[in-house]
Structure 1
Amino acid sequence: MNPATIKDVAKAADVSVATVSRVLHNLTGYSDKTKQKVMQAVEELGYQPNAIARGLVNKRTQTIGVLFPHVSSSFSSDILHGIEEIAQEKGFSVIVCNTAEEGKRTMKYLQVLREKQVDGIVFTSEVLKDEYFQAIKEMRVPVILVNTMSQKHMIPYVKVDDHQAAYHATDYLIQKGHREIAMISGSTKDRIAGLPRLEGYRQALADNGIEYIESRVANGDFNLEGGTEAMKKLLAEAPPFTALFAASDEMAIGAMNVAMERGLKIPDDLSIIGYDDLKFARMVYPPLTTIHQPLTMMGRMASEKLIALIEEDSTQVSSSIVSHHLVERQTVRSKP
């Protein structure tokens, strides 16, 4: 059975197609009785207005594009859950694009989103290069950044203060009596999360009179495999340490696996704190003490800001720095 059309609704309600269209788009020029007849016909026939047809009226497709470097990660799925939650409430569909590591497919997917005529874009967890900005500018659609920001372009963003959160994590270990603290960081070339988290770690050491030792820091590229290799490097080359701050939960879990393989007990021999508070942080043993980023809330906020720009023709919405907090579990103990 073919789906009902607007002509079917008009015939059932005994009105013109134009009248049905006016009712569905909340325009004027009809009586309450006519509106009731049309809405009753819509309900009885199960009529679903075509998205393309709606777009001809409001010049929108009711779709937003979301670009992620790693769609399959728990980090991305938590943000996406928040984005979709608000989008569905507001009548928007979401097109998700996996841009891969280091944005290998970002330009390709921006072209896809242009062809799909999306109404706006949520750009996440990646540096907004000039070529990306130019491509979006040519699309003439609003964009919101999540878990990233642009120091060059005035684009609204939603993110945690990475420097402050990393400082909090490191200072927590210091308050627990640790002074020999290693770090698994992101790349220092990453000025969005990698460098600020490293600087937060260094600042906490300095404020507590602890020397920064470069060999106690290893780059784990914000993934499980990187955390594993970084931990092996630290155990082989760094001066001894009693605590470790890993700048992502995935890196922390990679480090925990290596530590336990080497016979180190956590937290008896080594205290570890992560960053993100992904679902895995609660599932590993022992459960990971970590910095909580409200990822789903960040996704919701980004979606709300973007749709406000789309629907209200706003020229500007404000950026948001969201609060983090420390979640104590079982991987950190006070140093005897």
Structure 2
Amino acid sequence: MKKKVTIYDVAEAADVSLATVSRVINGSNVVKPATRERVLETIKRLDFKPNQIARGLATSKTTTIAVVFPQSLFGHVKDMIGGIGDTGRTLDFNIIMYTTDELGLGNPIEEVIEKVIKSRADGVVLFNNNCIDKEIDLIKKYRIPAVVVGYKISDEDICSVYVDAKSIAYDMTKQFIEQGKKDICFVRATQNLVDLNDFAKGIEEAFKDSGVTLPEDYIVDVSNHYEESYPQLKEYFDTHKHDVVLTGYDKEAVAVVNAAIDHGINVPEDMQVVGMMDTSYATICRPPLTTIHVPVYDMGAIAIRLLTKILNHEEIDEAEVPMHYTFIKRDTTK
């Protein structure tokens, strides 16, 4: 299948900004003749078909905010939608949501950013995922004001709301080590709202500071989808059993609990399990899941408020906002 040529491709090939391509398409007279010719030649060579995206680079505000997240993270962000929507309505901003599909053809990230521009959104909310660095590079390139949820970053017209995954992992690991539980495993999914690299660093630092050797291969990578992670973990438990399993999200923790029990591993007597986020997965789990409560509604609300401050040129006290978290003890830990 032939890849669809986008305005992003034209800008890259002509070595100009997306705004310059838009001005050429609109017939603006502020573009230098040589640059105009180069852009027009590129449009012809790439067989680019201009559409309303040329009008997407609006010069006036539309009071619209775009929210972009991978489909595989929907379970993580759905509880934030209330905070996003309520705050948007309170501040008289419209919210448009876009999803990226990492399994799709072409280059979905660029295509979604084009849709954001086409929608004439004033700013965008992004969510931490395994392509977040690329997404941030794109919004910087096109100078789109943004707030990133779940990933600590600040820059010109960029703020963030995040959970200190490193501190969470460090504190939990240190506590378990002090209880004599030194065989600790981290089940890591491919996509997560929490920065799982920081989570792993927290585990590693806790072992180092405790003077205890970190188990080899302590990270087990699994799918985001339960129907795939459960059989992966069931096979894993054929040859493994740990004192403690930490996870980056409740859904993975439920898969751990179910796979362990189906292998005759008693939870929490033989193995303790901790989830993350305190979602509905934690309460429907049997036994009920010990987890880290994160105020996801508030994260969504704060993200929108931060973005409107950027858009309205208001003073921002803290560009990187850490969210408080709480350890919720239930029945998968002793």
Same fold (TM over 0.5): yes
Confirm or deny that 1:256 pairs with 2:260. no
In 2, the alpha carbon distance for the partners of 1:251 and 1:79 equals: 19
Confirm or deny that 1:167 pairs with 2:159. no
Q: Which has the larger radius of gyration?
A: 1
- Out of 145, 150, 158, the residue aligned to residue 148 of structure 2 is 145
SS at structure 1 position matched to 2:71: coil
* Unpaired segments ≥5 residues, structure 1: 1-57
In 2, the alpha carbon distance for the partners of 1:117 and 1:317 equals: 27
Letter in 1 for 2:237: L
Give % identity: 23
Cα gap change, 1:264 to 1:97, in 2 (>3 Å)? same
CA deviation digits over 1:133-176, x for unaligned, max 9?
45434544311111124589883111011111111222333344
Q: CA deviation at 1:326?
A: 0.9
Cα gap change, 1:172 to 1:231, in 2 (>3 Å)? farther
In 1, the alpha carbon distance for the partners of 2:233 and 2:298 equals: 31
Confirm or deny that 1:119 pairs with 2:122. yes
Letter in 2 for 1:182: C
RMSD: 3.0
Q: CA deviation at 1:261?
A: 1.2
Match of 2:226 in 1: 224
Match of 2:279 in 1: 278
CA contact (8 A) 2:189 2:248 kept: yes
In 2, the alpha carbon distance for the partners of 1:82 and 1:95 equals: 14
Q: CA deviation at 1:73?
A: 3.0
* Unpaired segments ≥5 residues, structure 2: 1-58
- Out of 204, 207, 223, the residue aligned to residue 206 of structure 2 is 204
Cα gap change, 1:294 to 1:329, in 2 (>3 Å)? same
CA contact (8 A) 1:99 1:105 kept: yes
SS at structure 1 position matched to 2:206: helix
In 2, the alpha carbon distance for the partners of 1:67 and 1:229 equals: 30
Match of 1:236 in 2: 238
Q: CA deviation at 1:109?
A: 1.3
In 2, the alpha carbon distance for the partners of 1:288 and 1:84 equals: 29
In 2, the alpha carbon distance for the partners of 1:134 and 1:91 equals: 28
In 1, the alpha carbon distance for the partners of 2:314 and 2:293 equals: 34
Cα gap change, 1:90 to 1:254, in 2 (>3 Å)? same
Letter in 2 for 1:163: K
Confirm or deny that 1:320 pairs with 2:321. yes
Letter in 1 for 2:117: R
Q: CA deviation at 1:224?
A: 2.9
Letter in 1 for 2:198: P
Q: How many pairs does the alignment contain?
A: 273
Confirm or deny that 1:304 pairs with 2:269. no
Cα gap change, 1:185 to 1:158, in 2 (>3 Å)? same
Cα gap change, 1:301 to 1:76, in 2 (>3 Å)? same
Cα gap change, 1:288 to 1:219, in 2 (>3 Å)? same
Match of 1:42 in 2: none
Match of 1:265 in 2: 266
CA contact (8 A) 1:186 1:220 kept: yes
